[in-house]
């Protein structure tokens, strides 16, 4: 487990395991907040605007590209 917290990169110009771990934790938080907003928006469009689920799914799929 301690190999995850190495401060020195294994290769010249590479990232250390500590940096990779911290970036991974950061991107996890970013993805969770994105998921929360996307889920709320999908719920809002389907249940409150009464849009067809296929149309909402198509719009979301096109917006990801």
Label each residue of 1-65 as H, E or C. Answer: CHHHHCCCCCCCCCCCHHHHHHHHHHHHHHHHHHHHHHHHHHHHHHHHCCCCHHHHHHHHHHHHC
Q: Do 5 and 17 contact (CB within 8 A), yes or no? A: yes
Checking if the pLDDT of 35 tops 80, the result is yes
pTM over 0.85: no
Confidence of residue 17 (pLDDT cuts 50, 70, 90): confident
What pLDDT is stored for residue 58 in this prediction?
94
Tell me: pLDDT of 5 over 70.
no
């Amino acid at each position: 487990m301690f190999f995850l917290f190495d401060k020195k990169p294994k290769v010249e110009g590479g990232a250390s395991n500590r940096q990779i771990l911290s970036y991974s934790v950061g991107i996890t938080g970013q993805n969770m907040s994105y998921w929360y907003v996307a889920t709320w928006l999908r719920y809002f469009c389907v249940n409150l605007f009464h849009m067809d689920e296929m149309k909402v799914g198509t719009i979301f799929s096109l917006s990801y590209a």
